[in-house]
Amino acid sequence: MATERDRYHESLNILVPYFSKKESIGSPERILLLLKDAAMDEKLCRFLTNTSSDFYTLNEPDIEQKSRTQEAFPTFLEESELFEEGHQNCFDSIVLIQSWGQNKITVYNLIAKYWKNLKENGSVLLVLQKKFGAKSIIEFLKSKNLDIEPISNNRSGLRLMKIYKNQEKFTEIVVSQEISFNFRNHSYSAYVASGAFSKTDLDNGTRFLLEITAEKLSDMEDKVILDMGAGWGAITIVLDDLFPGNQFISLELDRMSLEVLRKNLDRLKRTSCHRVDLTNKRSYIGERLADSVDYIVSNPPFHMNDGKCEVFFEHSRRFLKREGSAFFVVESTFSNRFRKHLERFFKRVDTFARENYVVFMVRRE
């Protein structure tokens, strides 16, 4: 089965010829790369060494690799810098690679988010994957009056599309719907975003995670409970009801999910949510939450690569108080890899399995 990293390398195979052709006709550009692990990818860095275009990325460079190689690296930008006046209307091209879980609304909103960073005659280079709904995404973008044309495709089902900046601005689509679900004979309602991971009911993995958590934490009061990668807040909503009198902290990176998360948690007491990249080793939240959490309950992104997975679990150990416990659910397919990373930071890893899911329970010594 192809990994996210494999798909990323395939995407480079369709992008590099495009930029090589631009370079051959003497058209250096200022390019923003919205790519996973772009700064660390050797193939991309080798290409950058031989181009006169200026590349920028939101991915932090791997300092160790950068110090031992002569290859070029994109210039690292903090995301907040992109919304400052100096970076508005300044890029010739913005490159976006569709990843697993990004539907037509998500892709549209990513384009809208960075639209102001394009120059007047700039363009978005969009790499779509056939099995992730490329055709429906293209049709949706056209229905929104975006000027989109095909550039190339390959046998792996990748399609490189070019979207020209034909309007000054357009805004993100925030679509939410209210759902109802049950857990342990309790009824709940919540808002979910259109691009949510589970948008009709409580997904099976989260349900199994909550069952194990509720069983192991039968008596809890005045504790700090953390949800890492909260989505629309299912874990916090249920646990706040089952164990009132505790403090809940929810962390989420996706902007649309965060907006809906805040809407759901507004109804609850002693809850807070923050936009955090839990795969960034230098995340500000690391210092703020260090040694302060009694319990972590999390349904993390299954498709994190090994580097991001390790940082995620390193953060979790750092957040926990001594004797604090954490519960993570993962699809069985990814369980061996997740367990390997957990064992680096926790001496004991208990496992509970059901159908296609595994819940890991760990404790900080």
DSSP 156-173: TSEEEEEEE--SS-----
Q: What domains can you pick out in the chain, each with its CATH number?
A: 4-164 (3.40.50.150), 176-363 (3.40.50.150)
Give percent of the chain with pLDDT exceeding 90: 43
Query: Is residue 200 very low, low, confident or very high in pLDDT (cuts 50, 70, 90)?
Result: low
Q: What is the pLDDT of residue 13?
A: 76
Q: Which two tokens stand for residue 196?
A: 């949510």
Query: Is residue 199 very low, low, confident or very high in pLDDT (cuts 50, 70, 90)?
Result: low
CB 158 within 8 A of CB 14: yes
Q: Are strands 357-363 and 320-331 parallel, antiparallel or unpaired?
A: antiparallel
The beta strands (E) that lie in the chain are given as 30-34, 54-57, 75-76, 91-97, 118-129, 147-153, 158-164, 176-183, 186-193, 224-228, 247-252, 271-275, 293-298, 320-331, 349-354, 357-363
Bigger pLDDT: 347 or 19?
347
Q: What is the pLDDT of residue 42?
A: 61
Mean pLDDT of 217-228: 89
CB 325 within 8 A of CB 205: no
* The pLDDT of residue 265 is above 60: yes
Q: Which range has the worst mean pLDDT, 66-70, 159-163, 327-331?
A: 66-70
Query: Is residue 195 very low, low, confident or very high in pLDDT (cuts 50, 70, 90)?
Result: low
* The pLDDT of residue 40 is above 50: no
Query: Is residue 332 very low, low, confident or very high in pLDDT (cuts 50, 70, 90)?
Result: very high
- 10 Å CB burial of residue 85 (0-12, 13-18, 19+) is exposed
Q: What is the pLDDT of residue 357?
A: 95
247: left (phi over 0), alpha (psi -120 to 50) or beta: beta
Bigger pLDDT: 177 or 93?
93
Q: Are strands 75-76 and 54-57 parallel, antiparallel or unpaired?
A: parallel
* The pLDDT of residue 25 is above 70: no
The number of beta carbons lying within 10 Å of the beta carbon of residue 337 is: 15
CA-based torsion, 166, 172, 175, 181: positive or negative: positive
CB neighbours of 158 closer than 8 A, spacing ≥ 6?
10, 11, 13, 14, 127, 128, 129, 130
pLDDT in tens, 180-189: 999 999 999 9
